[in-house]
Amino acid sequence: MRAVGLHEDVIPVTTRVFATACVLVRPEGEAFCIDSPVFPDELEILPAIATQAGFEVVGLLATHADWDHLLARYSFPDAPLGAAESSAARLVNEPGRAQLKLREFDDELYVTRPGPLSLPGPQRLDVPGFIDVGSASIELHPADGHTVDGMALWIPWASVLVVGDYLSPVEIPMISEGGSVSAYLATLRRLEPLVSEAEWVVPGHGGPIDGTRALAILREDRAYLEALPDAPLPLARRTKEQRRIHGENLKRL
Ligand SMILES: [Zn+2]
């Protein structure tokens, strides 16, 4: 697991599997944990990383309701989870789904957990909207299309944009169940001005990238989606796994 400081108030942590991003952010004293690492040892050490950096985590946030972004309760069992209204609705409509997906992953990789994943009803956040702490404010922007739900978080004082499963340097746009190409393209349109302003962008998978690179990926992703079904894969993302994802995307057109 890799932790890098992008700003004194923003620490992205990249996990070993799926290169999933978890971001610790500290607006005025209190801190939040956005999304989560995946492996038990990573989840176990996360509170120490936060404490060492002087981040007192009081709440969890999820960019969307896919299981691999929801595991931070293992690290901070008492912290409440906040999510977009759309993600909260998904968690209610798909009870036990995250736990089931987690169990499938753990069974496949022979991973054992200290206990089952507890996900009490999340606090519903208005998106678009803001999380205000003191005079600091995190902007919430709708980010659906990959799935039916989601939000991107713009941290203006640090010029960092946390996007969830968009703009990944390792993964092509993935249209999952409930997602759609048109919603995905609309999200890219909404993100574009923020990406142009961002010093750093933290995608859900692949580690932090600078704003210039993120903008290039945004354009590649838009070109890919607009050219479906006969779209060539972005040059740097043509692995066997990406071809498989492309095949899945075609089924959802
Ligand atoms: Zn994901």
pLDDT per residue over 10-31, tens digit each? Answer: 999 999 999 999 999 999 889 9
Residue 68 Cα to ligand 1 midpoint, Å, equals: 6
Residue 199 Cα to ligand 1 midpoint, Å, equals: 22
Query: Alpha helix (H) ranges present in the chain?
Result: 40-52, 85-93, 97-109, 181-197, 211-226, 240-251
pLDDT, tens digit, 9 for 90 and up, residues 201-253: 999 999 999 999 999 999 999 999 999 999 999 999 999 999 999 999 999 98
Cα distance between residue 241 and residue 251, in whole Å: 16
Residues 54-86: b if buried by 16+ CB within 10 A, e if exposed? ebebebbbbbbbbbbbbbbbbbbeebebbbbbb
Residue 133 Cα to ligand 1 midpoint, Å, equals: 27
pLDDT of residue 29: 85
pLDDT of residue 194: 98
Peptide bond into 232 cis (omega under 30): no
Query: Which residues lie near ion ligand 1 (Cβ < 5 Å)?
Result: 66, 165, 204
Cα distance between residue 13 and residue 4, in whole Å: 7
pLDDT, tens digit, 9 for 90 and up, residues 182-202: 999 999 999 999 999 999 999
